[in-house]
Chain A
Amino acid sequence: MKSALASETWRRLRANPAAFTALVVLAALLGMALIGPWISPYRAEALDWSQVAANPGAGHWFGTDRLGRDLFVRTLEGARVSMTVGLIAGSVSFSVGLCYGAVAGYIGGRTDEVMMRLVEILGGLPLIFFVIFLTVVFGRNELVLFVSIGAVGWLTMARIVRGQTLSIRRQEFIEAAVASGAGTARIIFRHVVPNVLGLVIVYATLTVPQIMLFESFLSFLGLGIQEPRASLGTLIAEGVGEMEAAPWMLLAPGVFLTLLLMSLNVFGDGLRDALDPKEHR
């Protein structure tokens, strides 16, 4: 994206109160997740038997869990893991989906049919069974988590990009590029992709929360992140068990995850409005 387009987008984002607030919240959450553990005197795995299931207080800001681990640090650690999974898996599915969809949409014909058939087959897989199957075969491994997310994360992106490509393909500037002698690769990557990028970036910001939720779900079921590492999902799973006795164990990761997902969604909406060149105020 060229700087003129980027600065105009940024100006519009700033002018949109909801989106800007969401961005600020996101930055704050990210900031906390990154530096939080450094400002707390406690370490994530440190067990403190004297402070089991303690209420939030001066010492432990979010309280502690059943094993005496400081929840503040645990929550932020979990947030980091969830965000990492979301970001990495999100980027992978974004890139793969983008290329796959653009190529299928532009080339069309048999190639498109075959490519989309693959997408449909993968899309029809009952995901949980797939994950369980992988877990049985490869054991409870974080790699299984990445593979299963990776296998399906890019599918909807590919479909969306393909749809956009189909409508762009007929436009005159693509014809003009063909007439100028541009080869297929150049047309796809220099003309099609930048013109679908707007929609795709927005969709990507919506995919990341979906992925994080999926990971949280898997971890909640015990299929994802393993002890002693934590993700927001595992923390929530633990918290659910202690809901009545120690509600803060659920509240801390729960609220964090909710805020994260909400702000990503709102920001995604704002980004779509900001990127649309035809939108006037």
Chain B
Amino acid sequence: MSSSLLEVRNLAVHFGTVAALEDVSFELGSGETLGLVGESGSGKSTLARAILRLIPATRGSITWRGVELLTCDAASLRRQRRDLQIVFQDPLASLDPRMPVGETLAEPLEIFEPELGAPERLGRIKHMLERVGLGAAAIDRYPHELSGGQCQRIAIARAMMLRPRLLICDEPVSSLDVSIQGQIVNLLLDLQHEFGTAMLFISHNLAIVRHLAHRVMVIYLGRLVEVASCERLFSAPRHPYTRALLAALPDPTGRARGAGLTRGELPRGAAVPSGCAFRDRCPYAQELCARTIPRLEPVGAAQAIACHRRGELVYS
């Protein structure tokens, strides 16, 4: 589709013998928010870093506005970075501890708009700081003098400085207090609304993803198992893992709703089962599931799952 900004095809990232990502394909359109949900170790952060070529990919293609990111030269890649930004999970760690906030925010401008004079740059920085809810006084502060929420606002300001077309958010609120998480999520929603930025929002927290995403992808041990519109995913999930994930979430009183994922934990390291990776925790596993890896196939408008029993399993 011509309006898709990002096209990922059969992306694989291997670290030695461990396949952190395998056969990942999806598209992201302009202005769209795509959620990526999964547990720790599922490969979510690996995907974020692979898209930005912060880590090398083993196979596949990543096409950004027509440019093949995995094979383009360093200079071309750096030019594209202007529109491809990221916010990390640990706000304090993502800011240079020796640089005051003003310098951190000035950096993107110095790199991509070197012709700007110092007063103009300062003006842009002040404007951005206000936009993310901080005052100009923050310019001279150091990251360790600020709270987690404030640091994350700085990180977001830095990322949005050049109005990127895509913002990747890698668990941006997971290390913040629950009461502050909403502040940051709402800020992202706001900025997206103003600048029309597309977002890839990665989180293990489904409740937050539901506030933000138009479409959601569920990842398990490096493979996409379900992709659906936000509404469909939460009202009628079709993959056993997605269903288990939703059931494992605590209700407002903290109790898990269903049996969920009580069988075992996410296998560590290289111990991935043959065939479908979820089969040893899946209540519906059959012989076929051990032999062949299921592919992501549509099961209706706006929903696709990777499950051999997609046609048969009907949930109430």
Q: Report A's interface with B, CB cutoff 8 A.
A: 1-2, 4-5, 171-173, 175-183, 186, 190-191, 194-195, 197, 277
Contact = CB atoms under 8 A, between A and B. Distances in A.
Nearest to A174: B96
Contact of B144 (A178, A194, A277): A277
B93 A179 contact: no
Contacts of A181: 78-79, 81-82, 108, 111-112
Interface of B: 49, 52, 54, 78-79, 81-82, 84-86, 88, 90, 93-100, 107-108, 111-112, 140, 142, 144, 155, 158
B94 A173 contact: yes
B155 A176 contact: yes
A195 B98 CA distance: 6
A2 B99 CA distance: 8
A194 B99 contact: yes
A176 B144 CA distance: 17
Given A2-B100, A175-B88, A180 B81 contact: yes
B111 A176 contact: no
Given A176-B95, A179-B85, A181-B111, 20 more contacts: A4-B100, A4-B140, A4-B142, A5-B142, A172-B94, A173-B93, A173-B95, A173-B97, A175-B54, A176-B86, A176-B155, A178-B54, A179-B84, A179-B86, A180-B85, A183-B111, A186-B111, A190-B107, A195-B96, A277-B144
A183 B98 CA distance: 19
Contact of A191 (B85, B96, B100): B96
> Closest 10 CB pairs between A and B?
A181-B81, A172-B93, A194-B98, A173-B96, A172-B94, A176-B94, A181-B111, A179-B86, A181-B78, A180-B108
A232 B90 CA distance: 53
Contacts of B112: 181
Contacts of A177: 96, 107
A182 B107 contact: yes
23 contacts: A2-B100, A5-B98, A172-B88, A172-B93, A172-B94, A173-B95, A173-B97, A175-B94, A176-B86, A176-B158, A177-B107, A178-B54, A179-B52, A180-B108, A180-B111, A181-B112, A190-B99, A191-B99, A194-B99, A195-B96, A195-B97, A195-B98, A277-B97
A173 B82 CA distance: 17
Contact of B88 (A176, A182, A191): A176
B257 to A, nearest CB: 35
A280 to B, nearest CB: 12
Nearest to B145: A4
A276 to B, nearest CB: 12
Nearest to A176: B94
Q: Is the interface of A mostly helix, strand, loop or mixed?
A: helix
B158 A180 contact: yes
Nearest to B108: A180
Nearest to B48: A179
A187 B90 CA distance: 20
A107 to B, nearest CB: 13
Given A2-B100, A4-B140, A178-B54, A183 B93 contact: no
B111 A182 contact: yes
Contacts of A5: 98, 142
Contacts of B144: 277
Nearest to A194: B98
A35 B95 CA distance: 47
A160 to B, nearest CB: 18
Given A4-B142, A277-B144, A179 B54 contact: yes
B132 to A, nearest CB: 16
Contacts of A173: 93-97
Contacts of B155: 176
A246 B17 CA distance: 75
Contacts of A2: 98, 100
Given A4-B140, A172-B88, A179 B95 contact: no
A72 B142 CA distance: 49
Given A181-B81, A182-B107, A172 B90 contact: yes
Contacts of A172: 88, 90, 93-94
A99 B220 CA distance: 44
Nearest to A182: B111
Contacts of A1: 98
Contacts of A171: 93
Interface centre among A172, A176, A177, A183 (most CB of B within 10 A): A176
A168 to B, nearest CB: 10
